[in-house]
Amino acid sequence: MRNRDSYAEPYRIKVIEPIRQKDRKTRELLIEQAHYNVFNLRAEDVYIDLLTDSGTSAMSANQWSGMMIGDESYAGCANFYNLQDALLEIIGYRYVVPTHQGRAAENILMTMFVSESQDVLGNMHFDTTEGHIKLRKANPVNLVIDEGMDPDIDHPFKGNINLERLEEELKKSDPSTIPLIIITTTSNTNGGQPVSMNNMRSASELAKKYNRPIFIDAARFAENCYFIKQRDERYKNKSIREIAREFFSYADGCTMSSKKDALVNIGGFLAFKDKEEWYERAVQIQICYEGFRTYGGLAGRDLEALARGLYEGTEEDYLEDRIGQVHYLGSNLIEAGVPIMKPIGGHGVFVDGQRFLPHIERANLPGQSLAIELYKEAGIRCIELGTCAFGYKDPKTGEEIYPPQELVRLAIPRRAYTDRHMDVIVNAFKAINERKENIKGLKMVYQAEIMRHFTARFEMIK
Ligand code: F0G
C-alpha cells in the first residue's frame, strides 16, 4: 500500500452536507433520552456517524447525472440493461435479478434452495443471512478458519473458510441436507476480513466434487479483491476487475447489497453465472416480493446509479484511498493504545470493548458503554457488536449467554468523511482513555426477543 502522505482523496468535493456537533451537556441529555441506545438518536444530533457503511456512501457527479436518465418504464427500462452489461463486464455473470436491497436477494436465494432442518455452510454468515436461514427452520453453520476468531493473529485472509471442516461436513451428510454454501466477502462479522483466491478456488472445487451450489455474498467484493491484490504476490499486476472475474468464476452466483461496494444508497441483486433455469425460478419469486424482472423493487434511476457505482467501486485509486483511510484510522488508534482487531479490515475498525474497559464486567456491557462514551465525548455514533447484539438469555435458565467477543464497530462510510474526521475519532478515544477508570457501565432494562440491540433500553450504573 502506498504511503497515505503521498496522495490525497482521488476526488474534490462539489456538494456538501452540513453536520454539527452539539455541546457536551446536550449530548448527555440526548443520549439519556434515547435510553442509551444509539439507534434512538436522531441523525441530526450525531456529529460523525459510524453506525454503518451501508447506504451511507457519497455518490459521484457521474452517478447523480445517471439518476437523471432513469427510465421509469415498468418493463424493459434501459438502466436494467446497463446493469446487466456492468455485471457481465465486472464479474462475468449473465443473469441479474434486481432487488430493493441485499436481504431481499437473500430471501429469494433461500426460498429457492433452503428448507427445514438443512445446514447452510459458510465462512461467516451475516445476521440477515442467518435470519433468512433460520426463518426456514434451517441451520446456519459458520466454518471460518480458527485464526479468524483471534483478534491478535495477523493472518492476511481471516475470512477464509476452513476447507477441512467444509469437506468433513460435505462428506458426512447426504446431499439433501446441505443445499448451499455461501462465502461472504469480505467477512463483515469478524472485522471486514478478506477471503483469498486460493480459498475461494478450493471451496469451489469441493462444492463441485460434492455437487452443491456455491454462492458469494458480494456486499464488499471490491474491497476483498483489493486485499487479494495487496496480499497475494501473484495478483499484484492484475486489475481489480480481472481479479473479480476470476474470483466470481469459482461460484455459481451471488447476492449483493449494493449499498456497500456499489456506492449507492439503496439497492441489491441476486445474480447467476450461467444457469438460466435458476434465473427463471428466481424471477418467479422476485415478481411476488420485489417487482418485474427489469426493476425488482428499484426505480430506473436507482438501477443506473448502481450500474455506474459498480464501475467506480472497482477503480483502483478509489479503493486505495478507501482502504487507506480505514487503515489510517486503525493504525492511529493502535498508536494511541486502543486494542483493535488485527489486521485492520476493509470497511471499518473493530475495537475490543472489553480490553479497552477491563474494569467493567461483561454483565455491565463494556462494548455498549464504550459506544455511549464516544457519543458523549464527541458526538460519534457507532455500534456495539458484543453482548447486546449477539448475546441472549437462555430460554430455559434465563441465564445470559455471552458471545466470544465484545466488539465495537467503527464502520466508515465511503467517500463521506475526510481524514480530519478520522483525527477527531482518534482524539475522542485518547480523551476517553485518560478518564476511563471512572466509566461505570450499563444495565439493560428492556429487551425484545429477537435482534434486541435495535430496541433495547439501558440505564447507567450509578
Ligand atoms: N450481507 C452482508 C455481508 C452485509 O454486511 C449486509 C448488511 C447484508 C448482507 C444485508 O444487506 O442491508 O442491503 O439488506 N450489512 C449492513 C451493516 C446492515 O451495517 O453491516 P442489506
**Joined grid coordinates for residue 462:** 450509578
The pTM score is 0.97
What is the reported pLDDT for 281?
98
Length of the chain: 462
pLDDT per residue over 330-348, tens digit each?
999 999 999 999 999 999 9
Confidence of residue 177 (pLDDT cuts 50, 70, 90): very high
The mean per-residue pLDDT over the stretch 391-416 comes to 92
Q: Could you count the other beta carbons within 10 Å of the beta carbon of residue 302?
A: 23
Active site (annotated) includes residue 127: yes
DSSP for 129-152 reads HHHHHHHTT-EEEE-B-GGGG-TT
Helix (H, G, I), strand (E, B) or coil at 318: helix
Catalytic annotation, pick one of 282, 421, 453, 458: 453
Whole-number Å distance, alpha carbon 237 to ligand 1 midpoint, is 31
Whole-number Å distance, alpha carbon 190 to ligand 1 midpoint, is 14
pLDDT per residue over 39-88, tens digit each?
999 999 999 999 999 999 999 999 999 999 999 999 999 999 999 999 99
Active site (annotated) includes residue 217: yes
Mean pLDDT over the full length of the chain: 96
The mean per-residue pLDDT over the stretch 10-39 comes to 97
Residue 204 Cβ contacting ligand 1 at under 6 Å: no
pLDDT: which is higher, 371 or 452: 371
Catalytic annotation, pick one of 86, 138, 203, 219: 219
- The CA-atom distances, in angstroms, between 332 and each of 367, 371, 417, 426, 430 are 20, 18, 16, 7, 10
Q: Of the given ranges (274-278, 388-392, 429-433, 457-461), which has the lowest mean pLDDT?
A: 388-392
CATH architecture of residue range(s) 4-53+315-460: Alpha-Beta Complex (3.90)
The mean per-residue pLDDT over the stretch 99-122 comes to 97
The mean per-residue pLDDT over the stretch 157-179 comes to 93
Residue 102 Cβ contacting ligand 1 at under 6 Å: yes
Single out the residue of 302, 295, 315 nearest to residue 259, CA to CA.
302
Residue 330 Cβ contacting ligand 1 at under 6 Å: no
Domain regions of the chain by residue span: 4-53+315-460, 61-312
Dihedral sign of CA atoms 19, 25, 26, 31 in order: positive
pLDDT per residue over 88-100, tens digit each?
999 999 999 999 9
Q: What percent of the chain has pLDDT over 90?
A: 93
Q: Is the pLDDT of residue 450 over 80?
A: no
- As a CATH number, domain 61-312 is 3.40.640.10
Confidence of residue 392 (pLDDT cuts 50, 70, 90): confident
